[in-house]
Amino acid sequence: MTNTKYDVAGIGNAIVDIIARCDDAFLSNQGMEKGFMQLIEAGRAEKLYQTMGPATEQSGGSVANSIAGIASFGGKCAFIGRVADDQLGKVFAHDIQSIGVAYDTPPSDVGLPTARCFVLVTPDGERTMNTFLGASTELKPADVDKQVIAQSQVTYLEGYLFDKPEAKAAFNEAAVTAREAGRKVALSLSDAFCVDRHREDFLALVRGGVDILFANENEITSLYQLNTFEDAAGAVRAEAEIAVLTRSEQGSVVISGNETIEVPAAPVDKVVDVTGAGDLYAAGFLHGLTAGRDLDTCGRLGALAASEIISHIGARPEKNLKSLAQGAGLLG
């Protein structure tokens, strides 16, 4: 993996999170399944916003969060994803560019506003998400800068992109470009319901074009329609080069060929908001991998980044992850 300009290029939905606290009753009154993400249309977004409490706005998007995390570790990154030419779009672009990430996707001009995700955080720290994809659905194959992909060690793709046909086409184009350039492709399954919507596509990718797969327990059992984590882990071992399976407070398991590496979760004083836990785990793992670390260290970097993100509101790191990792003896 020499002669690369970037460690990781991420392609995903460009979203601003609108984060509010609520109680469990609010979720059930609104018919929401706690802990999951659902897609909503403009009208529902408007109505939900009117109903929910005061909020904080912060850049989000699953793979964009991971890219922000890798940048905080000191990695070189690019991001591809579509916003609109509006205030939230400017917020998204500012936040990712200001941490040194190359982000040059031109804003959409078709009228859909920048994507937003209403993140509802319950007192237990669990988050329930409602996403209006807006302008991010306007990502097209032509937006994938092939030079960027060819110059990145790893191209990291978001499963959520499969929810819209053009974005899915952009995703596939990026994967092909990366493979042709001899680079690695990583995929996040994003969400168990997302897996349910696109199971055959994801299985084909895991079998054919993905080198590193990120999934949590719900997602991997949903992918293989198996009942236990152990069975699903066995199934993915036969198919993926590296599978990284996260299990919340039970830590994570890295599977590669005959290797099985169990990584404990990093300790947290108080879980404030789990939003971005998986995204930041992926950030730590991919930073370790592109910096040439062994799989155990990659997993520990992932666990460390996840522990930082769940200790505060929002899915972008507040502390410098490189310093944190150096303090923990994981990076020199």
- What are the residues binding its own copies (CB under 8 A)? 21, 49-50, 52-59, 68, 86-88, 91, 94-96, 98-99, 113, 314, 316, 318
CB of 97 to its own copies, least distance (A): 9
Residue 105 per-residue DSSP state? P
Q: Is 310 left (phi over 0), alpha (psi -120 to 50) or beta?
A: alpha
CB of 98 to its own copies, least distance (A): 5
Q: Are 186 and 212 in contact (CB under 8 A)?
A: yes
Site of tokens 């409490």: 53
Nearer to its own copies, 91 or 261 (CB): 91
Burial of 107 (0-12, 13-18, 19+ CB in 10 A): middle
CB of 183 to its own copies, least distance (A): 27
Nearer to its own copies, 72 or 218 (CB): 72
Measured CA to CA, the distance from residue 253 to residue 262 in angstroms comes to 5
CB of 274 to its own copies, least distance (A): 17
Nearer to its own copies, 199 or 312 (CB): 312
Give start and end residues of each alpha helix (H) in the chain.
Answer: 24-29, 42-51, 62-72, 87-97, 146-150, 165-180, 192-197, 199-208, 217-224, 229-237, 277-290, 295-309, 321-327
CB of 89 to its own copies, least distance (A): 9
Nearer to its own copies, 230 or 318 (CB): 318
Measured CA to CA, the distance from residue 75 to residue 289 in angstroms comes to 11
Nearer to its own copies, 117 or 265 (CB): 117
